[in-house]
Structure 1
């Protein structure tokens, strides 16, 4: 039989049973999928068998669904499109679970019907980061961009369709995405949900649920007018899109003149609903829908958190003012009613704010300047309530002040609901080598502070390696700014003999004599940013942790001498939902006594999920303005996690992909390990010349100086 000959149904069934065993039973076998697949050539058969086996590693039921519906998919689409279909379904599985993924496999005809739209359209995942930065740059609370079937906002996220293809090219569809995002942002900034007026109208029955669509049409007129006043360029783009996709207004504009006047708010919109009830809703390509229940849920969670956060901030301000924590005599009290008379807000007219006013915080009758984070909290509260409610203006008592916001009690799963994305939860993709595809937003990373420790360890290290430190400093001082002889200069300290000889020959040949006859010394200025990424997994316990801290101290001393910008971050974690980074020294922080104490405080934690840490620290490094950006990893072993899937090839390939992504951002990565087996896997991850296996910590800084010469010369 020829190697490329199609397989029979019996042969296919046998191969399918090998990977579908867990999904088969006495009532369901692989015979029908095998018969369907037998009608295709060997290439199509191999495609299905390969991907079926890959999917089975995650979920046998999904592998069966794919295998069963793949023949139908191949009749409707080419193999590239079929691959897009299966990856789309697996992305749904990663994000939403098995049932949505099964539905995606079963609805292959719908996917195929929309394939042309997908080819010409813009995918949200390709532009969500740009949209998120754009929306955050407008005004108000930072908003996350997330996928949903219909555009809406819950006041913390802007939900947009996963793909847009209504317009003929990607650029035009991106403009439509932007218009949708702006409209949802406008609901937050210009007060659709402010002070609970809309929610109260729905709860009281003054606005019937059936009238919500009419309300949204009217509110869109008001929001469009607000956008036109503040962002006329955006409004022109949105108008052009609406005219192209929806046509002219059908008699609505004359009925809503009052909504377009400055000072109009959501109350005016609610008043107009009664007069215009019964009109067919005016189409609008960027409007989406209102989801009051989603807003109500998110508002309740955020209000409770922000009230506690604000009251704790007030207690800290009173402590700074009085020199002692308020309520010391009542350690369990969570509120201090007597502080109410000392705290107030003062209202000012402010045309730049969305509701025309701003509020100053007053303490003992005098305005105070709160810290930046407190200002952000105040702005968010005002955005929700239109003011600082009186019940917020009471300082937290010691019970709440010491307990804080209970960060340690938050369940890791809560990050998936989007509740805490503003509190430092960073979602990152992860590479699945078997799929050759990223799992979108698969990992959640948080930054946690490193508690400072006794600096005695720092001084002991200086004494222990005193001679070596002097040698390192001499080595790095040479690197600090090397003098280079520049030849053939128009001015300089000495004559360039070679240039003079050439010029003499030119003159005798009848040519014009050059003026570049001198040499001068030029000092090369270094422009380097270095990120030191330190393994804080549990396996570093004991002498390894001590060696890491000693190496960091020696490196930091050398880099401080050299004058290069550097940051130190530890990393660890426990499964994909609890990845952690530990800022020991950021780029903005000085290498001072506090930083040295934090180096001393580095301690072993959990596991070594490296890919997400590399992506996070590469992002921080990429933001630095530097000619050379260097990511140095100090580790004791290969990528690992409590999740067995990450161990072995999966973790190595994810780390390799993260390093590849870093290189695309102009970052040079190098790994220094004390794992004697590192040569078995590091060449594959970092490249054959980008790692070092070192057992003696005293050689580590000297090795780094060699790396510096190689990468920065």
Structure 2
């Protein structure tokens, strides 16, 4: 052991009150096992080594080692460990106030505010728990600080179980936010903290403790495989990946600043290719080959100028009417004086885009045995509408959307305008599933852009949703409601009417705010959705 590590051993003994053996380790992460501390072999990182020693001493003084980890999922272990690190450091700084500056000096640069991955959120939580004046605009990070401080005031820093309960709440929130956690790729963000192996017993008695700990240089080790699903880790869909068709940027309305943020949201237009396309007798691969969008010929433009006959006045004589006048005179009948023709417009085609909310909440089943999910009812209603050639609708499209922050608003074109409802389209609509959240404004803007390419005539978006707009990077409940309202106003100015069917008994306030008084209906019973969809779409198609 060199002189540097000898000095660190003396420092550890002075802080802990017991002998601590500090040894070099050719790794990047400190490891604490029993009273032996293995530090990265880097003589230049003197200040970081001091913080590492102080943190290890905090565990030796205040943490219970080798708690059973089998009952926790990997994401839970990581969150509990992070809060335990903060708790014991707070206790150590209470007893030795001068050590606080060691930890603050070792803080890495603040993560990118747009980085919502697990490690970035933990790093931001570490920062606000360590520095009283640190600010963060993330709801989860601020909730962690609030719950931590409330627990300190209510139960004190010594109550491990109280902080364990806080960790359970925060880990559950991360699961609801669908923050991915990959144990094999995760490293504790704070560079002075050890790998947390001191805290946990993973039940691998056949592995020598020191060897097992030395293997944990990249982060928390996952517990043995469990049959329970990993909260916060959604398994990727099997089979062929979604086909990306293009990316588009749209503004978003900031209600606090009362202005549009330009190029704020990215809409990723995709063609779904999930397993299960064989629902209509077509395999996933075969369906994928058949539904690749083609440059279909444009439907005949019906909004053309007509010659209106038998008019009271006009620019030309209607020859047919004139002949009938001569015939009537010979028969001594009163002739019809409408002898003229003038230009006029014929009937205009109607275009209705049914926009389905494909968020995770749509997967929830209704009440009762054998109840189907709202998403299944949405799909059934859309298929019935497309198959019925609904009265008054000349051109119908069925699209869907979900979102995973403003950077990933997924938009699926399930049935195009003018495309027949063939087997591949039926299979694709039947196989689509709900994921992520509901950033409604960006989806409405993209849907309106599709309708701009339609023939002039009644053009409308009919949104089917089960709840208010929301996303995991927005925590002001009114923010996305106001953005959706602005998107509806923009579409209206462009000649596109927007309406909504909400399968939510509490939807009245927000859908009225977004769509206006006469442009929505609420389906308290999801089973009424097909009939309501048919009636509302017909009414939109007939509007002028």
| TM-score, normalization by structure 1 | 0.32
More helix by share: 1
TM-score (ref. length: structure 2)? 0.42
Q: Which protein, 1 or 2, shows the higher relative CO under an 8 Å CA cutoff with sep ≥ 6? A: 2
